[in-house]
């Protein structure tokens, strides 16, 4: 169902292997199960908010509530689009794109995760490329930013592959200890130069104004 009062549900991003869309309740339930099954090894913590330390059932509920909250809290001045990523028809993870005052800044941020079983196959690169295509080609963004812990080679690898440049370090408290994050930044020219994934966008005209684009 594509609700007429929330046209973002009609938005579809497609790459050669993936489809990204805002999940309806059934798909959201499947996405929650992917999180419950595990996103990383217990010893690691790639997130500054350590939501994956919870039990499998709680992780699932956290994902369910997070995605619904992004819809409930959406405003043109502060939005987060939390997309389910489907590979071969099955949900494998989540790709978020967010911005504050996008109409003024032209800048988006991203965040993502895949279920453990789906990592290391280039899916993370492909889904971030889809998010960047939405931002730059679809919404006219000028810059995209991201951040990853300095000991997260896969996330840093995705950013490097797509043309981001280092943008300084920051320190955060995670599990009561200091961790260093590498900030990353991609401008429009480098996005153009590094884009290698074919992406199509469907349904954007009906919801472009929701982004302040
Ligand atoms: C981060 C994440 C989304 C990346 O997706 P992915 O599909 O696993 O990554 P890809 O297969 O696209 O690989 C991306 C790059 O990392 C490299 N890479 C993959 N595994 C690696 C490893 N163990 N060590 C070093 N580099 C690695 C790949 O070679 C690739 O770089 P290249 O294109 O230059 O060769 C995914 O691994 C994940 O969900 N991890 C757990 C949650 C997380 O860390 N989220 C991000 C928080 S900032």
Residues 159/146, Cβ–Cβ less than 8 Å: yes
Mutate to test the pocket of ligand 1, among 96, 127, 150, 154 (most ligand atoms within 8 A of CB): 154
For ligand 1, whether the C-beta of 99 sits within 6 Å is no
Q: How many other CB atoms are there within 10 angstroms of residue 194's CB atom?
A: 16
Q: Which residues are CB-contacts of 204 (< 8 A; sequence separation ≥ 6)? A: 11, 134, 138
DSSP tag of 208: G
pLDDT digits (tens, 9 = 90+) for 137-155: 999 999 999 999 999 999 9
Which residue's CA is the nearest one to ligand 1's atom 24? Answer: 153
78 Cβ partners below 8 Å, 6+ apart?
99, 100, 101
For the chain, state the CA radius of gyration. 16
Pairing of strands 78-87, 200-202: unpaired
What is the per-residue pLDDT for 3?
85
Q: What is the pTM of this model?
A: 0.97
The CB of 109 under 6 Å from ligand 1? The reply is no
pLDDT of residue 113: 98
Q: Could you tell me if the CB of 153 is within 6 A of ligand 1?
A: yes
User: Cβ contacts of residue 28 below 8 Å, gap of 6+?
Assistant: 63, 64, 67, 68, 84
Contacts of 139 (CB under 8 A, 6+ apart): 102, 108, 208, 211, 213
Task: Report, as ranges of residue numbers, the positions in the chain whose pLDDT lies below 50.
Answer: none
Sign, CA dihedral 54-60-64-70, equals positive
pLDDT at 2: 79
CA–centroid distance, residue 199 to ligand 1 (Å): 20
**% residues pLDDT > 70 (the chain):** 100
Smallest CA separation from ligand 1 atom 6, residue: 124
Task: From 45, 46, 115, 157, give the residue whose CB has the most ligand 1 atoms within 8 Å, as the site to mutate.
Answer: 157
pLDDT digits (tens, 9 = 90+) for 16-59: 999 999 999 999 999 999 999 999 999 999 999 999 999 999 99
């Amino acid at each position: 169902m594509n609700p007429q009062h929330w046209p973002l549900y009609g938005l579809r991003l497609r790459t050669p292997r993936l489809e990204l869309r805002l999940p309806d309740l059934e798909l959201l339930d499947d996405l929650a199960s992917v999180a419950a099954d595990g996103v990383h090894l217990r010893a690691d913590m790639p997130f500054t908010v350590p939501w994956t330390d919870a039990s499998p059932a709680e992780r699932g509920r956290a994902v369910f509530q997070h995605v619904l909250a992004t819809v409930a809290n959406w405003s043109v001045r502060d939005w987060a689009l939390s997309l389910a990523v489907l590979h071969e028809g099955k949900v494998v993870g989540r790709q978020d794109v967010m911005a504050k005052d996008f109409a003024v800044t032209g800048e988006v941020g991203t965040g993502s995760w895949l279920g453990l079983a789906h990592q290391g196959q280039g899916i993370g690169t492909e889904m971030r490329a889809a998010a960047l295509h939405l931002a730059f080609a679809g919404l006219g963004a000028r810059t995209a930013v991201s951040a990853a812990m300095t000991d997260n080679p896969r996330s840093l690898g995705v950013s490097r592959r797509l043309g981001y440049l280092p943008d300084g370090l920051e320190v955060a408290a995670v599990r009561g200890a200091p961790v260093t994050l590498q900030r990353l930044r991609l401008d429009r020219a480098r996005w153009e130069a590094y884009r290698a994934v074919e992406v199509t966008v469907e349904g954007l005209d009906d919801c472009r104004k929701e982004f302040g684009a």
